[in-house]
Amino acid sequence: MNPVLTLVYSILYTLVKTGLELYYRIEPPHGLPEKEPDGPLIILGNHPNALIDPFMVVSRLKRPVFFLGNASLFKHWFANWFLNTFFCIPIERPKDVGGRPIDNAQAFQRSRQHLLQGGALYIAPEGTSEREYRLRPIKTGAARIALDVLQADPTQRMSFLLGGITYQEHPAFRSRVSLRFDHCEISVSDLPGPVDDWSTVEWLTRLLEDKIQALLLHSEPEIDHQLMRCTRLLQPGLAGPNWRDDIYAILKCLRQMGARSESVVSALSACMAEKQLTKVDPQWTDQREHTGRLILLPIVALILVHYLFIYGLPEFLKRSLHLHPVYDATVRFLGGLIGYLIGVPLLWWAMHWVMPGVEYRIIWLVVVLALGPWAWQEMLFFNGAGTGGHSGVLHGIPAG
């Protein structure tokens, strides 16, 4: 990869990874190899959340990765130029060709060439994205590309990195995400038959499918929709470190209910709509009920930290110590430092009953502290700083 592409990839990688970390609560990945595989590497993962999924997996790797993307993304001339230039190879699906025969010869050739050069290629083997917990049957494309590489160079060892992504609630902000990985290598000697035989393609496809499925909460098609509804309804309550096991427990219950699961989930939905379920466990309360408190939070923070402690404590010290006015700025400055040491922990404690998530409190705390000097100066003005009521304490100007 030339230096320009390397720089662009590094910038995009940093932006995407940072954005994912801010939007989701990504748990430490399980099963990721300590040392990334060298040489040709095919990365596969389940695909329940559109473009988020490949980025979620690839952001755990350091080496540059190319993507096999559906041809519909390449229709616009700019998208076609950009994606073909920067790390993407178009692959045609029946829905992309409008009835004409599918032609992926060029895509397979580019993929094979990239892998033979020691590159890494991400493939979504299901061929489509559906918001489900189960793995849909995977296509044969990944196996065919891997076997093409082995046929072109029988001395190669093809590495596969399998990723399993489980979302607590796919579109929800700050939803938890579980990442589980598996790694395997295939050489010509490992194949059960000739490299160009269709039975070998099917064998490798089933092997990869079984490995990915083992990383997921695999639900049956008739239950998956009910499981999605349940997790969406109970999402605020699935907040503990064992949330993945909780989802599996819900899946187990739905399996036991069988045909009754749909009616039970519908009743649960009606119960949640009437807010009756929140009486059982307050932690299951809809997060939207915190909206009113979130509006009050900046007001409380400004009063608590930037008024009582940044003004109140220094003013109390100044009057108690009876120092010469020349020390006003010093007392206000030192009192302000002490006020922050006392006020910030109290603000953190006050936010505990407003929002349970630590990340939310950190963000709000940073915002409040950053806006504090401006807000403090405005409050001084309204309290008579401009008319002799208070001195310009922010700038250390002693009382005249």
Alpha-carbon span 144 to 148, nearest angstrom: 6
Min mean pLDDT across 62-71, 210-219, 330-339 is at: 330-339
Task: Using alpha carbons only, give the angle 245, 247, 249 rounded to the nearest 5 degrees.
Answer: 70
Compute φ and ψ for 162, nearest 5 degrees: -100, 130
* Amino acid 388: pLDDT: 39
pLDDT exceeds 90 at position 329: no
Min mean pLDDT across 10-24, 41-55, 198-212, 284-298 is at: 284-298
pLDDT exceeds 70 at position 250: yes
Min mean pLDDT across 37-51, 212-226, 324-338 is at: 324-338
Helix or strand holding residue 268 (H, E): helix 261-273
* Amino acid 324: pLDDT: 62
DSSP 82: H
* Amino acid 146: pLDDT: 97
The distance from CA 5 to its chain's CA centroid, rounded to whole angstroms, is 25
Q: Pairing mode, if any, of strands 158-167 and 176-186?
A: antiparallel
Q: Residue 43's CB: how many other CB atoms inside 10 A?
A: 26
Question: pLDDT tens for residues 156-171?
Answer: 999 999 999 999 887 7
* Amino acid 209: pLDDT: 97
Mean pLDDT taken over the chain: 79
pLDDT more than 70, % of the chain: 68
- Tell which residue, 110, 122, 109, 68, has the closest CA to residue 90: 68
- Tell which residue, 343, 234, 360, 348, has the closest CA to residue 291: 360
Alpha-carbon span 207 to 205, nearest angstrom: 5
pLDDT exceeds 80 at position 132: yes
Average pLDDT, integer, range 57-84: 90
* Amino acid 252: pLDDT: 92
- Tell which residue, 60, 82, 117, has the closest CA to residue 5: 82
Alpha-carbon span 279 to 398, nearest angstrom: 56
Domains and CATH numbers, the chain: 3-213 (3.40.1130.10), 221-285 (no CATH), 288-395 (no CATH)
pLDDT exceeds 70 at position 341: no
pLDDT exceeds 70 at position 50: yes
CA dihedral 20, 22, 26, 28 (to 10 degrees): 100
* Amino acid 392: pLDDT: 38
Average pLDDT, integer, range 270-277: 62
* Amino acid 386: pLDDT: 40
* Amino acid 280: pLDDT: 40
* Amino acid 184: pLDDT: 95
Average pLDDT, integer, range 124-148: 93
Question: pLDDT tens for residues 95-117?
Answer: 777 778 888 899 999 999 999 99
Question: pLDDT tens for residues 212-238?
Answer: 999 998 888 889 888 988 888 887 777
Burial class of residue 52 in the structure, from the number of CB atoms within 10 Å of its CB (0-12 exposed, 13-18 middle, 19+ buried): buried
Question: pLDDT tens for residues 74-95?
Answer: 888 888 898 888 889 999 888 7
Compute φ and ψ for 217, nearest 5 degrees: -85, 90
Average pLDDT, integer, range 193-208: 96
Structure tokens that stand for 224 in this block? 């998956």
Higher pLDDT, 125 or 352: 125
Angle between helices 358-382 and 328-352 (to 10 degrees): 140
Confidence of residue 283 (pLDDT cuts 50, 70, 90): very low
* Amino acid 308: pLDDT: 63
pLDDT exceeds 80 at position 258: yes
Amino acid at 244: R
* Amino acid 289: pLDDT: 44
Alpha-carbon span 331 to 318, nearest angstrom: 6
Higher pLDDT, 336 or 134: 134
Average pLDDT, integer, range 198-209: 97
Q: Any residues with CB less than 8 A from the CB of 135 and at least 6 apart, and which?
A: 46, 126, 209, 212, 213, 216, 218
Q: Do residues 297 and 348 lie in contact, with contact meaning Cβ atoms separated by under 8 Å?
A: no
